[in-house]
Amino acid sequence: MASKPLAAATDDLECFTVKELAELWGVSDRTVYEQIRRKHLSAFQLPTGSIRVPKAAAREFMARNTIPTAAPAETGQEEAESAE
């Protein structure tokens, strides 16, 4: 039986909270919960009741739904260029 490389195996263990994904994607917690409920986004529940979304599942969801990974950086560069 072939095992996964260590990096891939540990990536499977890394997860987002619903709140982290909501902030990353710029949506409400409720929107993330709805995607989980509709089975569009894989997640699991901890014994404490908290929901976790594996990072690999979040990346797959983002690729399928063309969600940007982060907002564009606001550096002020555009303002400096337009003032010239």
Is residue 42 within 8 A of residue 57, CB to CB? The reply is yes
Percent of residues in the chain assigned helix, strand, coil, to nearest 5: 50, 10, 40
The CA distances from residue 6 to 9, 10, 11, 13, in Å, are 5, 6, 8, 11
pLDDT digits (tens, 9 = 90+) for 35-81: 999 999 999 999 999 999 999 999 999 989 877 655 544 444 444 44
Q: Where does 12-66 sit in CATH, by number?
A: 1.10.1660
CA distance 56 to 43: 11
What are the two backbone dihedrals, phi and then psi, of residue 6, each rounded to the nearest 5 degrees? -55, -45
Q: How far apart are the first and last CA of the chain?
A: 63
Q: What is the pTM of this model?
A: 0.66
DSSP state of 2: P
pLDDT digits (tens, 9 = 90+) for 11-33: 557 999 999 999 999 999 999 99
